[in-house]
Every structure is written in structure tokens, then in C-alpha cells.
Amino acid sequence: MGKNGGLTRSKNRVLGGVCAGIAEHFGWSVTGTRAGYVLVSILSAAFPGLIAYLVLWLVLPQRR
């Protein structure tokens, strides 16, 4: 978890560390979280998933 136990971007990253940060915060599988995110994004016409990822990338602090 992050410094204050909050959600942060992980250093275990493929792009921005967003999915890995979410998975680590909740104790989920990183690979499963990434696969689930891609699947949900594709099923929602991809655009909302891309926007959400970009917003989280900008908003979540990098883990130290």
C-alpha cells in the first residue's frame, strides 16, 4: 500500500502502473486486474476505459 494506505500507482508497470496499483491496494492478482480492465474496456467500446486510465494516471500519486 501507499504511504498513507491510499491508492497509488505501482512501480510494477506496463504503462502507468494504474492497474498494478489498484491490484496491490486490494490484494488482487496484477495479471487478473490488467486482463479484467482490458476486457471491460473493450466491452465498453474502449474509449471510456482509455479516458478512465488516463485520468487515474494523472490523479494517482506514484508510489515511493
In the block, residue with C-alpha cell 496484477: 30
Entry pTM: 0.82
Hey, where are the domains in the chain? 1-64
- Cell numbers for 54, please give them: 488516463
- pLDDT at position 3: 45
**AA letter at 46:** A
What secondary structure, in 3-state letters, does 44-55 show? CCCHHHHHHHHH
**AA letter at 16:** G
Report how far apart, in Å, the C-alpha atoms of 62 and of each of 21, 52, 58 are: 9, 17, 10
Over the stretch 13-61, which tens digit does the pLDDT of each residue have? 999 999 999 999 999 999 999 999 999 999 988 788 989 999 999 999 9
Instruction: Give the separation between CA 5 and CA 43, rounded to whole angstroms.
Output: 31
